[in-house]
Amino acid sequence: MNRRILLAATLATTAGFAGTASAQTALSMWYHGAGGEVEGAIIRQIVDDFNASQSDYVVSLESFPQESYNDSIVAAALAGNLPDIVDVDGPVMPNWAWAGYLRPLDIDESLIENFLPGTKGYWNGELYSVGLWDAAVALYARQSTLEALGLRTPTLEEPWTKEEFMAALDAAKESGDFEYPLDLGMAWTGEWYPYAFSPFLQSFGGDIVDRETYQTAEGVLNGDAALEFGEWWQSLFADGYAPGTSQDPADRDAGFIDGKYAFSWNGNWAAVNTIEGGVDDVVFLPAPDFGNGSVIGAASWQFGVSAASEHPEGAAAFIEFALQDKYLAAFTDGIGLIPSTPTAAEMTETYKEGGPLNVFFALSEEQALVRPVTPGYVVAAKVFEKALADIANGADVADTLDAAADEINADIERNGGYGHQ
Amino acid sequence: MAAISSDNHGLRLVVRYAVLTLIAAIFIFPLVFMVMSSFKPDLQLLRDTSSFRAFLPVGDLSLDNYRDAFTRAPVATFVFNSVLVTGLTVLLSLLFCSLAAFSFVFLNWTGRSVLLSVILATLIVPFETIAIPLLLLVSKLPWIGLDGFQIGWLNSYRVQIIPWIADGLTIFLFVQYFKDLPKELIEASRVEGASWWQIYRKVVMPLSGPVLATAAILKFLVMYNQYLWPLIVVQQESYRPVMVGLQYFFQLDTAWGEIMAYLTVITVPVLAFYLVLQRAFIASIASTGVKG
Amino acid sequence: MTSKLTTSNRAGWGFALPGFALIATFIVLPFIFAFWLSLTNQRLISPNPTEFVGLDNYRSLLSIDVLSIEPERDAAGALVRDDDGALSYPAVRGFTRNNPDYPQYAGMREWFRWHWGDTAKVVIATDVIFWKALANTLTFVLVVAPVQGALALGLALLINQRLRGINFYRAVYFMPVVVSIVVVSLLWRFIYDGEDGLLNNLLSALTFGAFTGMDWLGNPDTALGSIMAMSIWQAVGFHMVIWLSGLQTISPTLYEASAIEGASKWQTFRYVTWPGLRNTAVLVVIVITMQAFALFAQIDVMTNGGPLDSTQTVVFQAVERGYGKQDISGGSTISVILFVLVLTISLIQRWLAREKT
């Protein structure tokens, strides 16, 4: 297998020297993984394999640091300098599609039939992007903590109710063994807030915007359910259950491992480090059910084709090629992401039936809800982040949520409704 | 300095050094933290942040973070790019800005005060607020290089250098300094028939050591710490500077030890530059007695 | 200065033009473009056409009003008081949200209030965050500019002595400047940490445990002050160097003369050093003021404008809107307002300075 690829690669190179390179079309691709060594190696492998597998296209890869990837893309788009294949964060995709940065993705959709729902990027009824993986969030805890505090272990079928969850936090608080019962990751600003916390709001029965029309936030972000959520959210900080917005980033990274926190709301990407950090009895619990089911956020990074591409068919061919189970599994084994298909999950040590992280696959399948699919999400997410930070710091809940709803509505109006059909 | 009486000389000296050292401690402690942390594994580093161990070389020390930082990112490329861009910009900036300031201070010409006012007004414009219009501008600018004519400056060294050569602050720095130089020197040279270029070159520049050093350091710091601008005009890794490179280390699971190692590495060139220039401050024009 | 010897249009323009042309192209031109954007509804990302909207952006940023609210009365007309005897007032949102009786207040929010007898006077604005940002920025400038300038001068005098090893101290005092402000902000987040940060541990050790810890960046009362302290710490070395280069221009013969006349240290400073630093002082004040108005990176790394908007600043808001919220015209509007504001202040400064001399 490897030898065949090597041979093919050699042939391709030789052919290149022989002068047939001019027949090959160059495609450029941008990826958000600069600095991630394992991730970089896998994506390079896919590119090399693709280049070796056919003779029509040659893909060249440019990697960007994730922190600033979106800024780079937007700047490049403004300057008219986009590549053929781009990598896009799921919730941002509608914004770029609406702006005309992306074109609909023309691939054989039967290929992605069994993909996790969060990995398929649809906007206005058309497929724009597909992800090789998803991510999921769970409540990290130690089995020993659960036992010591005498807590029922929640399951997917029967997650903790709000009362059970708060009772668990109280028990942890009263035990006196922890600095705080709960670590929400308030030190991580930016997309973490809407990604990790808007599912709580949804479980309470509210949302960031009204998903029926995507034209207003009135009534969903500041309705009764949202007010109830806001009061609860504020109490987490006011009553000392969780560290607030000034949490030290070091504590976010190491606090749970060091036993400062009883529970930690964290993504699957931190699982491997937690286990390696010495927490061998860590368990990943599903989100509590606040009344409308357990919800977690969905959609991670996905591939799409830029509208500027002169060879969309080549770009689509590359994406089709990348969707093979072995690559999905490679990302999972390499960096702990959730593979998009059950067949790929079975190929991995961690996510296969009975594997230590298999629970995340189930979480993603059962509970994941994509963030509002609208070009306005980018702005709404910022507004939501600030509202949650303010409420955590003691701002009046009703006033804050009203102001947030007003700001989101004003933005939707200024953008002519964001082109929803 | 005033003469020091000999009886309490020793005591006064001790007090002086004590004060100097205390202040030094205040200035240096976060940097000690940075350097010490660069030798520690992540978990230990984070645990140490809560105690004075953070400043001490204790625990499990190694160069692993440095090795890992260099494998994670092309650190040498980033440092090279930054030093090249910064060095060229500093040199050109010193030349262009000192020439302009020379003209504003020593020469009389129509439009002088209007131009100076416009330049001083640009001091007020924070770069963040003009970044996007500037991006749109440079993406349309023509260029004639070794490989012929092309439109657009993105992905190059020139886009990181040329827009930054002249700035109001550097010109202002020179203007304020030149005002302190005696006009008679200039007029005398003029009477002797020296050209303006000769006066700039032979009379003014030799007296400008301290301001050149100050302007160079200021510009060096601005350029070396560039972040937003290269982020939006450079898409190719081969042109990226150090501060954009810093982002390579902020992964979902932040590699704090490597960050500290990287920061330590990229701080070295700036410190070296300052130490070299420090001599220029001390080689003061005071000894030449041009004033008073 | 009007001497014929120094008059030359050709040389004057020739020397100034290269620098001026670069500034005109890369700073003035983009700024004019930003000004134009502030008169439109331009978005950073949008397929919608750009429209000219006149001064709408300025109106929505600057609209401010005072709302008088009477305390609530019961059916009998008596003032309603709670258990503590405090009056109770209807919520501001009752006036500003969906209230057809007060269309002029629609969408406005409370900034702050004071009491005039029983009446509550509430200052409401369409864009409360902008006003808070403006107030914070001005506070920052008013505190940082004099403190940093004075400390820097003190350090420069301290370091301007002939002492063995003084070069070492010069380098050390300058070191925080050498490290990027982004990096410094990251390091100080560890120091200011409310739980077990280095500062809390240090203060607790110095007071033998009497100090029990403070959430420096998490408390609206201390966040801005903490950022000020760090900013001064970081930049003071730079201004020290500017003062130092100014000190070098003062002739040693003046010091010798004052020593011969038996002047005290203070007299020497007052009558020799300080007058010799006049141009440097103008420079330092202006540079610090400009840098303080541009406060951004520290906020971005350390607080994001929080907690409760206590560290919002004008440039942070300009960036947050222009890039984060893709509202490039709104961001540009803030830039233009900042420009006009600072220009006004510096013109007043110049006018005041002129009166005195």
A/C interface, count of CB pairs below 8 Å:
94
The reply to whether B95 and B172 lie within a common domain is yes
CATH number for the domain that contains residue B114: 1.10.3720.10
Residues B102 and B59 in one domain: no
Q: Are B68 and B121 members of one domain? A: no
Domain carrying residue A195 = 137-297+376-419
Tell me the backbone φ, ψ of residue A308, rounded to 5 degrees.
Answer: -80, -10
Closest chain C C-alpha to A393 CA, distance in angstroms? 6
Check if A74 contacts C (Cβ < 8 Å). Answer: yes
pLDDT digits (tens, 9 = 90+) for B30-71: 889 899 999 999 888 888 877 788 888 988 899 999 999 999
Residue A292: how many other CB atoms lie within 10 Å: 13
Of C329 and B2, which is predicted with more confidence? C329
Nearest to A270 among B42, B232, B253 (CB): B253
Quick one: A214 and A68 in the same domain?
A: no
DSSP H helical ranges for chain C = 9-23, 29-37, 56-62, 93-96, 128-159, 166-178, 181-192, 198-206, 223-247, 252-260, 265-268, 274-276, 278-293, 297-302, 314-319, 328-356
- Cα(C49)–Cα(A195) distance, rounded to whole angstroms? 31
Are C193 and A248 within 8 A, CB to CB?
A: yes
| CB-CB neighbors (< 8 A) of A254 in chain B | 42-43, 46-47
pLDDT value at position A22? 55
Query: Does C4 score more than 70 pLDDT?
Result: no
Q: Domain check: are A99 and A176 in the same one?
A: no
For residue C141, give how far its alpha carbon lies from the nearest alpha carbon of chain B (Å).
Answer: 14
Confidence (pLDDT) at B282: 54
Q: Are residues B43 and B99 in the same domain?
A: no
Q: Closest chain C residue to B281 measured between Cα atoms?
A: C245
CA dist., res. C32 & res. C59, Å (int):
20
- Residues of A with Cβ-Cβ distance to C306 under 8 angstroms: 245, 386, 389-390, 393
Is A371 a domain residue? no
Other beta carbons within 10 angstroms of residue B14's beta carbon come to 10
Q: Is residue B42 part of a domain?
A: yes
Whether residue A370 lies inside any domain: the answer is: no
The answer to whether residue B147 scores a pLDDT higher than 80 is no
pLDDT tens column, C162-176: 788 888 898 899 889
Residue A28 lies in a domain: yes
The residue in chain B having the minimum alpha-carbon distance to the alpha carbon of residue A40 is: B72
Q: Which residues touch B50 (CB under 8 Å, ≥6 apart)?
A: C193, C195, C196, C197, C198, C201
Could you report the per-residue pLDDT of B182-204, keeping only the tens digit for each? Answer: 888 888 998 898 899 999 999 99
Residue pLDDT, tens place only, C7-63:
788 888 999 999 999 999 999 999 999 999 999 999 988 899 999 999 999 999 999
Q: Indicate the number of domains in chain B.
A: 2
> Among all chains, which residue has been given the structure tokens 């009203």?
A402
Query: Per-residue pLDDT for chain A (421 aa), expressed as one digit of tens each?
Result: 344 444 444 444 444 444 444 578 999 999 998 988 888 999 999 999 999 999 999 999 999 998 889 988 999 998 888 999 999 999 999 999 999 999 999 999 999 999 999 999 999 999 999 999 999 999 999 999 999 999 999 998 999 999 999 999 999 999 999 999 999 999 988 899 999 999 999 999 999 999 999 999 999 999 999 999 999 999 999 999 999 998 888 888 889 999 999 999 999 988 888 988 889 999 999 999 999 999 999 999 999 999 999 999 999 999 999 999 999 999 998 888 899 999 999 999 889 988 888 888 888 888 899 999 999 999 999 999 999 999 999 999 999 999 999 999 999 999 999 998 7
Range of the domain at B221: 82-243
Residues B181, B126, single domain; the answer is yes
The residues, any chain, with a CB within 8 Å of residue C25's CB and separated by 6 or more, are B137, B163
Domains of chain C: 64-125 (no CATH), 129-356 (1.10.3720.10)
The CA distance from B154 to A83, in Å, is 14
Q: Are residues A175 and A45 in the same domain?
A: no
Domain annotation covers residue B141: yes
Chain A interface residues facing chain B, Cβ-Cβ under 8 Å?
Answer: 30, 34-37, 62-68, 71-72, 75-76, 78-81, 248-251, 253-254, 257-258, 267, 269-270, 273, 277
Q: Does residue B53 form part of some domain?
A: yes
Query: What pLDDT does A21 receive?
Result: 46
Same domain, A177 and A238: yes
Does C15 contact B103 at a Cβ distance shorter than 8 Å?
Answer: yes
Helix-, strand-, coil-residue percentages of chain B, each rounded to 5: 70, 5, 25
The residues, ordered by sequence, that sit 6+ positions from C22 with a Cβ below 8 Å of its Cβ are B96, B162, B163, B165, B166
- How far is B238 from B80, CA to CA, in rounded Å? 10
Distance CA C245, CA B277 (A): 12
User: Does A112 lie in the same domain as A26?
Assistant: yes
What is the rounded radius of gyration, in angstroms, for the C-alpha atoms of chain A?
23
Closest-approach residue (CA) in chain B for A61 = B236
User: What's the mean pLDDT in B258-283?
Assistant: 83
Structure tokens, B217: 């350091």
- Chain C residue numbers with beta carbons less than 8 Å from the beta carbon of A415 are 43, 46, 48
Q: Which residue of A has its CA nearest to C186?
A: A249
B263 lies in the same domain as B197:
no
What is the ipTM score, two decimals? 0.88
Assign C122 a pLDDT band (cuts: 50, 70, 90).
very high
> Does residue A274 lie within any of the structural domains?
yes
Chains touching B (at least 3 CB pairs under 8 A) are A, C
Residues A114, A259 share a domain? no
Q: Is residue B291 part of a domain?
A: no
Peptide bond into C146 cis (omega under 30): no
Distance from CA of B74 to the nearest CA of C (A): 19
User: Smallest Cα–Cα separation from A379: which of A349, A343, A348, A415?
Assistant: A415
Inform me whether the C-beta atom of residue A399 falls under 8 Å from chain C C-beta atoms: yes
How large a percentage of chain C has pLDDT more than 90?
A: 47
Quick check: B163 and B138 in contact, CB under 8 A? yes
Residue B290 lies in a domain: no
Of A61, A60, A55, which is closest to residue A12 (Cα–Cα)? A55
Are residues A124 and A217 located together in one domain of the fold?
Answer: no
Examine the domain organization and report whether B31 and B166 are in the same domain.
Answer: no
What's the rounded Cα separation, in Å, for the pair B112 and B103?
A: 8
Report the CATH number at residue A154: 3.40.190.10
Phi/psi at B6 (5° precision): -80, -25
* % chain B with pLDDT above 90: 51
pLDDT tens digits for range B231-269: 999 999 999 999 999 999 987 677 889 999 999 999 888
- Whether residues A153 and A35 share a domain: the answer is no
Residues B31 and B139 occupy one common structural domain = no
Q: How many CB atoms lie within 10 A of CB C3?
A: 11
CB A398 within 8 A of CB A211: no
Q: For all residues of chain C together, what is the average pLDDT?
A: 89
- The alpha carbon of residue A220 is apart from the nearest alpha carbon of chain B, in Å, by 31
Is residue A33 in some structural domain? yes
- In this structure, the answer to whether residues B115 and B152 fall within a common structural domain is yes
- Number of domains present in the structure of chain A: 2
The per-residue pLDDT for B41 is 92
The phi and psi torsions of A7 (rounded to 5 degrees) equal -60, -45
- Say if the Cβ atoms of C93 and A398 lie within 8 Å: yes
- Strand-pairing partners, residue C81, are C87
CA A151-A153-A155 angle, to 5 degrees, is 150
Residue C179, pLDDT score: 84
Name the residue among B209, B177, B220, B200 with its Cα closest to residue B278: B209
Mark whether B38 and B161 lie in a shared domain. no
Token pair of C242 as six digits? 């500017």
Residue B290 has pLDDT above 50, yes or no: no
Same domain membership, residue B97 and residue B18: no
Question: Quick one: B268 and B161 in the same domain?
Answer: no
- Examine the domain organization and report whether A8 and A64 are in the same domain: yes
pLDDT at A3: 41
